[in-house]
Amino acid sequence: MTQIGESVAVTQVEEPKTGGLWVTVRDKCDGSRIKGAIVSVGTKTQTTDDSGETTFSDLPAGPTQAMVNMHFKDADYLTFFSHIMPRIVRRKEARSRAWGDGDVPDGGEGRLRVEIDVYKVIDKIRFRRLHLKLKPLDYGHWWVMVGNNSYGWWPEQGHLGAKDMEEPQAPPPLGDDPPILERIQHMAALAGYSAQMARYDANNSTVGSYGQAIAKTFAGVPGILNGTEAHKKAERDPHHDDLDFEEEYSPVVNDCKTYEDLAKKIRDFAFAYEGEWSWRFEFGRNCHTFQIEMIKELAITMFKDWKA
């Protein structure tokens, strides 16, 4: 009990020390600023602005940590378990997460830079695919577009499969007592018609050209980049302008690979590829294995599916 004349000690409660934190989010590879990244400090969450920055206030002074999350929606990707039929893929979201340690000064504003992996689609590179059709026999083709160039692996003597063609029409019969010149022209037209019919019958035969093509397919023939020396030198696959492909993929990277890096590796790989062309139920060396081996050489595992 306090006696009369005694003093009473009063304990003062100190105000909590607070400050601010200025967070900048940047690309781990090139240092560019990242807009739209979600930054969390303690219980507070904010989004970076056009300059890749956000500022927190009224944070407890002292050491702190910022967590950054970012979903690069345009770069959502797939990975291949199997490229060949049946094609087996797994689809994933392109998400990055990173942490940064900083310090909140009492009554001031600290600065913190957090670098994250950025997912990027290398859209100037397109792996394109047309698939096998059995009737008429058409092996399809897989090739890669790299800017204005393209590369694929072909049999040196051209496409082995039969192609669609309209049934040839016989020349009209001669009239009565035609002149000699007309007879000669008619004989030439009949000879041309016979040759065209032979080709048409082979195209529509289950043996003929099919048997020959299948035999060459399994036995193997010399292979060549882009099918001919002219196309090879021009760096232009015969399907370069074909837009009727069934599948199309671009590399997705979240490291520091660039288009220039990948384009050079693709070109070096294409011109070093050599040997036969053959197809034995996805074995041998053909346009499929050419593209798959190229992808392995590039160490690319993530792909943008443009047909999804």
pLDDT tens for residues 89-101? 999 999 999 999 9
Instruction: Grade residue 236 by pLDDT with cuts at 50, 70 and 90.
Output: very high
* Residue 90, helix vs strand vs coil: strand
For the cut 70, the answer to whether the pLDDT of residue 211 exceeds it is no
Instruction: Grade residue 161 by pLDDT with cuts at 50, 70 and 90.
Output: very low
Q: Per-residue pLDDT tens for 4-25? A: 556 555 556 567 799 999 999 9
pLDDT (mean) for 280-303: 89
Predicted local confidence at residue 134, as pLDDT: 63
pLDDT (mean) for 211-238: 80
3-state helix, strand, coil in the chain (%, to 5): 25, 35, 40
What are the distances in angstroms from CA 253 to CA 48, 77, 100?
23, 10, 23
Picking from 78, 28, 94, 73, the residue whose alpha carbon sits closest to that of residue 256 is 28
Express as a percent the part of the chain with pLDDT over 90.
Answer: 61
Whole-model pTM: value is: 0.75
For the cut 50, the answer to whether the pLDDT of residue 163 exceeds it is no
pLDDT (mean) for 246-266: 97
For the cut 50, the answer to whether the pLDDT of residue 162 exceeds it is no
What structural domains does the chain harbor?
18-75+93-118 (2.60.40.1120), 125-163+206-305 (no CATH)
Q: Lowest-pLDDT range, 9-13, 47-51, 243-247?
A: 9-13
Predicted local confidence at residue 26, as pLDDT: 97
